Structure 1
Amino acid sequence: MIKTVNLLKRKRGMSMEEFIEHYESTHRRIGEKYLKGHACHYIRRYLFPVPDPATGESYEAEYDVLLEIWYPNEAAYQNAMAAINAPEAAAEISADEANLFDRSSMRSFHVREFESDM
């Protein structure tokens, strides 16, 4: 199993509600179109800062969504990368990203997980 994680920040001036609405109604569907048949999980985890327990103060989060995409194997991951980097797909994804994200702050990672028995 291969898992990628992306940390994404919404575009300046966009509320969290607007961000989630656009992501779930539009950008998610674009992702599904190109990931279908390659990825086995496409999960968006929206982040809401927890106020400081001592002071009650809140802060602006550095990122607004943790995106997880799981692939069953290396071949599926490579095929997905080829699909989303094809010129037509890359143009469609990029055009919508410009409406949604602070693209300069986007970060992507491969994940190696370890789980504790509790």
Structure 2
Amino acid sequence: MFRLVTLLRRRPGMSAEDFRAYYESRHRVMGERVLSGQALRYVRRYVRPLQEGRAPGFDVVMEIDFADRAAHDRCMAMLATPDIAREIAEDEERLFDRAATLSFTVEECESVMPPPADRAGD
């Protein structure tokens, strides 16, 4: 599997509530349409800081999973075609601070954890 992760910040002046509502009702739908048949998984993880005043500088972690690097590359080439690229860019202008967007790939290493101890007797 090949995972693309993108950190996205909402455009200035947009509330977190309006950002999420627009993303889930409009941009997500477009993403599902253009990624259909290309990606295995498309996930948005909205950030809620645990410490007051310590915002991470982005509002959502977006993840797209592909079967492999070649599938990712084919998808990126398709997304770069003029009509699709223009459609995505126009919608992103309504939603994101595009200058703050950061994308990267990740390699996942997962620990197998034992089940929690039964604490019913404590």
TM-score by length of 2: 0.88
2:100 match: 105
Confirm whether residue 75 of structure 1 aligns to residue 54 of structure 2. Answer: no
2:118 match: none
1:21 and 1:78 mapped to 2: Cα distance?
30
Confirm whether residue 49 of structure 1 aligns to residue 44 of structure 2. Answer: no
Confirm whether residue 65 of structure 1 aligns to residue 60 of structure 2. Answer: yes
Confirm whether residue 89 of structure 1 aligns to residue 84 of structure 2. Answer: yes
**TM-aligned CA deviation for residue 15 of structure 1:** 0.6
TM-score by length of 1: 0.91
1:24 match: 24
Name the amino acid aligned to 1:37: G
1:74 and 1:107 mapped to 2: Cα distance?
19
On the 8 A contact 1:45/1:66 being kept in 2, the answer is yes
Unaligned runs of 5+ in 2: 114-122
Residue by residue over 1:33-53, the C-alpha shift from the partner in whole angstroms, topping out at 9 and shown as x without a partner, is: 1111010000000001002xx
**TM-aligned CA deviation for residue 61 of structure 1:** 3.3
Name the amino acid aligned to 1:36: S
Name the amino acid aligned to 1:49: P
**TM-aligned CA deviation for residue 112 of structure 1:** 0.6
On the 8 A contact 1:48/1:61 being kept in 2, the answer is no
Confirm whether residue 38 of structure 1 aligns to residue 33 of structure 2. Answer: no
Aligned residues: 113
Q: What SS does the aligned partner of 1:61 have?
A: coil
2:49 and 2:97 mapped to 1: Cα distance?
18
